[in-house]
A = this chain, B = another copy of it.
């Protein structure tokens, strides 16, 4: 999210100091973020300061600062006098987030087309192959989701825009639950992969218009699939 690393990688790489001084707070932040994104902390779960303190082993000061950051990122929502809970987006909010994703990802795709090298395109194609391998294996949804994350990593890498990466990253994080739900629908993975292949093809052809169209269409499908599954779930319960 807030990652700003630049490495010239000149003649003196390797003696690069691993970490310029990592505030403990950031480790806690990364840890909690990962826990939320991996669904170790499920949406709606309460985050009680004292519990986090004991389980993580840091003071309340640090915990509270981290919670404020997560709140500003939109991953948790803090209710005054009540505390923080893992954010659970409502259906309409999820729909909006998907619309924002579509706008931003198509922007990223256009940037990629403008700036990326042929090697970047190959790398992008490789991540789709990787996804296919995971999808054909078993129905390991989390692994598939991680593979898809990798696709976006490469895409944003090639787009060469930390700003877009930062903002889009935040949006994607907020709909991660829906993304997982959508991917877990029967038949969805194979369709996703064919959509991605088409997108990569358009990107390789440097066809910005077609790529934008495919990108938006893909997210449209993902959105409606996820929302339908969500509606079915809540109806079943």
Of A103-111, A141-149, A198-206, A222-230, which binds chain B?
A103-111
A163 CA / B223 CA spacing, docked (Å)? 15
CB neighbours (8 Å) of A166 from chain B are 74
> Main SS of the interface on chain A?
helix
Copy number in the complex reads: 2
Interface on A for B, CB 8 Å cutoff? 1-2, 4, 20-23, 26, 61, 64-66, 68-74, 77, 80-81, 93, 96-97, 99-100, 103-104, 106-107, 111, 161-164, 166-167, 170-171
CB-CB nearest 6 A-B residue pairs: A72-B72, A96-B163, A103-B103, A69-B72, A103-B107, A68-B68
| Best-buried of A4, A23, A77 by chain B (most CB within 10 Å) | A4
Query: B99, A20: Cβ atoms under 8 Å?
Result: no
CB neighbours (8 Å) of A61 from chain B are 61, 64
A161 CA / B80 CA spacing, docked (Å)? 23
A2 CA / B69 CA spacing, docked (Å)? 12
CB neighbours (8 Å) of A72 from chain B are 1-2, 68-73
